[in-house]
Structure 1
Amino acid sequence: MPILFGQIVHHIIEQTIVHYLQTGEVPTVAELVNRARGQLNAAFIDSTRNRDLWIQKPNKFYMMQEVYYDGKLEPAIVADYKERMHTIFENFLHSETFQQITASKGSLRIGEPEQFRTMKIDDTQVFVVMDFHYFDEVADKWIIIDWKTGGESDDDRQQLALYAYYVQEKYRVPLENIEVYNEYLKTGQRKKYLLTHFDIENTLHTFQRSVLEMKKYQADIFTNEPIDFEDFEQTSEEWQCLRCNYKELCVHGKGK
């Protein structure tokens, strides 16, 4: 549910920005809430009534993890997200980012939001999906925005550092000409990160280390064939099992 909700919110925000840039129209909170509610209901219907269709074509239908494993959505979860929707979209429309878009439309060069972009790091293809970025001609700055529907995370800074590195490489601009922000829609707070070259170096080091870790699970690097199933160690941190999509591969779905 948290991932699905975040995806729906991000998609609606993208549509709202594109529609505003094309027409100058700003929707109401109620309109955005109704759109999100409709998409959540469609996902629930798919998960509960179209299981066989999802098994045949999993990329064409939704399957909510909670419904797949538990057979239902807890009423408390449904109530929480119904209440959260209004706050999220109200904070988006009043966010500093959206206010800047509506106030400075002529001086902003908008990058395509939510598009798959790629770059190479040490011969490894990396997919970068930025929520929103634009060039402010007045400030002579590239601005990167990442919308968050949940709470603050220790990974937020590093995620934005990767986006900043992409902009550096793509547009050949110095880090000093790039500003990065998180818009935390649940609280309405906006956080700016003052990235340094150390942040970029640390992000690249983390990436390189992660690639090496993942390659340990390749039996053949040319065909990308994995090692045997039994060689994938199971986690000892059982809290991670709660949201794991592969619980049924484990004994009793408990990861041990």
Structure 2
Amino acid sequence: MRRPPLTNDFSWSKSRHEKFSECLRSYYFYYYRSWGGWEADAPKDVRELYVLKKLANRYSWAGSVVHECLKDVLLDWRAGRAVDPAVVEAKARKVMQDDFRFSRGKGYWTQKYRKQFTGLVEHEYADAVPDEAWKQNWETVRSALAWFFSSRWPQLAHSLKPEQWLEVDAGFDFAHFTLDGLKVFAIPDFAFVDADGTPVVVDWKTGRSRDGYDEQVLGYALYVSQRYRFPVEKVRAALVYLNEGKEQDVSVDLGAMESFRRHFETSVSRMRSLLKDPVTNTPLEASAFPPSEDLSPCMRCVFRRPCGREAAVLERQAAAQQAPSPQQVA
């Protein structure tokens, strides 16, 4: 039985909102022009955009490796299997070594590798990344895992009864809910019911705190509320900064949820204003999605070549390398 053809349906997520807010051209490439790039007969430019959109930068790569490790660890604990932290660390290191070699060879243009990783933008554009920076990338992963295993979370996970486990990073196919008739993607890293019956959603972070994270976990709270039929104000949410060794509770009260709804409605309205046909999610012409006037987002953008900004980025990078360091100035 043949599956129905894929359709590019409109949906909302925190990451989509951020891309829309940062650069409209990048947003257009990512969500519209690259659509269908996986097909064997896709136009060359569409295929290029599709491959590029799958690339990560070294920071998000480190974060994704940590998330994959913690997902496997939690699922093992849920199933009653023992976990050796040293084995987890060694596996993460081997995965990153293999990832690095594959990406450096740009194999992503001709072959599939693994679902969670395609390649790195630093290799695609031959960015000048010193060896010490790559070593620090591994150290980010190692220290995040080390802190997790020494924290309160292993004991908490082991204390949960089977019925207290809700989800562990369930993925896009499962973790979404409906808000105002629109599909919203929200994938909590860990969701459970604590000893007093309170549902808890957790988001692991390898970076530092920044604006927007609260909205992300509020979306998780709405998702858990809908899927498991909890009053949303009863849900507790936490951001856990693995490399800083700290936890931050996020208020899930009616005021916070109303703020989230206003943020969501404004974001959706702005996105839909650039659609020729909202029913079919057909965008306006590319000219309605101009590139960012600020070059800063281009420095880490996967689309700098098709956007025509590659030369400008190289000039900016060269200037940054020639600029005196603070120590030299002092």
| Distance in 2 separating the partners of 1:190 and 1:96 | 11
Contact kept, 8 Å, 1:112 with 1:132, in 2: the verdict is: yes
Scaled by the length of structure 1, the TM-score of the pair is 0.89
Tell me the percent identity: 23
Q: 1:79 aligns with which of 130, 135, 140?
A: 135
| Distance in 2 separating the partners of 1:80 and 1:114 | 26
SS at match of 1:139: coil
| Distance in 2 separating the partners of 1:91 and 1:80 | 16
| Distance in 1 separating the partners of 2:280 and 2:213 | 33
- Name the Cα RMSD after superposition: 2.1
Q: 2:252 aligns with which of 195, 210, 229?
A: 195
Contact kept, 8 Å, 1:140 with 1:177, in 2: the verdict is: no
Contact kept, 8 Å, 1:93 with 1:99, in 2: the verdict is: no
Structure 2 matches for 1:135-174, cutoff 5 A? 135-136=193-194, 138-174=195-231
Asked if 1:34 is matched to 2:90, the reply is yes
Distance 1:108 1:101, change over 3 A: farther
Structure 2 gap segments, 5+ residues each: 1-57, 314-330
The aligned counterpart of 2:287 is 230
Cα offset, 1:83, TM superposition: 2.3
The aligned counterpart of 1:127 is 185
Structure 2 matches for 1:1-256, cutoff 5 A? 1-28=58-85, 30-49=86-105, 51=106, 53-57=107-111, 62-70=118-126, 73-102=129-158, 104-106=159-161, 109-115=164-170, 116=172, 117-136=175-194, 138-253=195-310, 254=312
Distance 1:193 1:222, change over 3 A: closer
| Distance in 1 separating the partners of 2:260 and 2:113 | 31
Q: Supply the AA of the counterpart residue of 2:65.
A: I
Cα offset, 1:39, TM superposition: 1.5
How many aligned positions are there?
250
Cα offset, 1:59, TM superposition: 7.6
Distance 1:43 1:110, change over 3 A: same
SS at match of 2:169: coil
1 or 2, which has the higher strand percentage? 1
| Distance in 1 separating the partners of 2:303 and 2:191 | 34
Distance 1:225 1:57, change over 3 A: farther
Distance 1:185 1:251, change over 3 A: same
Structure 1 gap segments, 5+ residues each: none
Q: Supply the AA of the counterpart residue of 2:143.
A: T
Cα offset, 1:126, TM superposition: 1.1
Scaled by the length of structure 2, the TM-score of the pair is 0.70
SS at match of 1:152: coil
Cα offset, 1:23, TM superposition: 3.0
Q: Supply the AA of the counterpart residue of 2:212.
A: D
Q: Supply the AA of the counterpart residue of 1:146.
A: D
Whose relative contact order is higher, 1 or 2, with alpha carbons under 8 Å and at least 6 apart?
2
Superposed CA deviations along residues 109-168 of structure 1, whole A, max 9, x for unmatched, are 1123111312111121111211000112x3110011110011111211111111111222
SS at match of 1:125: strand
Contact kept, 8 Å, 2:203 with 2:239, in 1: the verdict is: yes
| Distance in 2 separating the partners of 1:225 and 1:87 | 45
Distance 1:72 1:107, change over 3 A: same
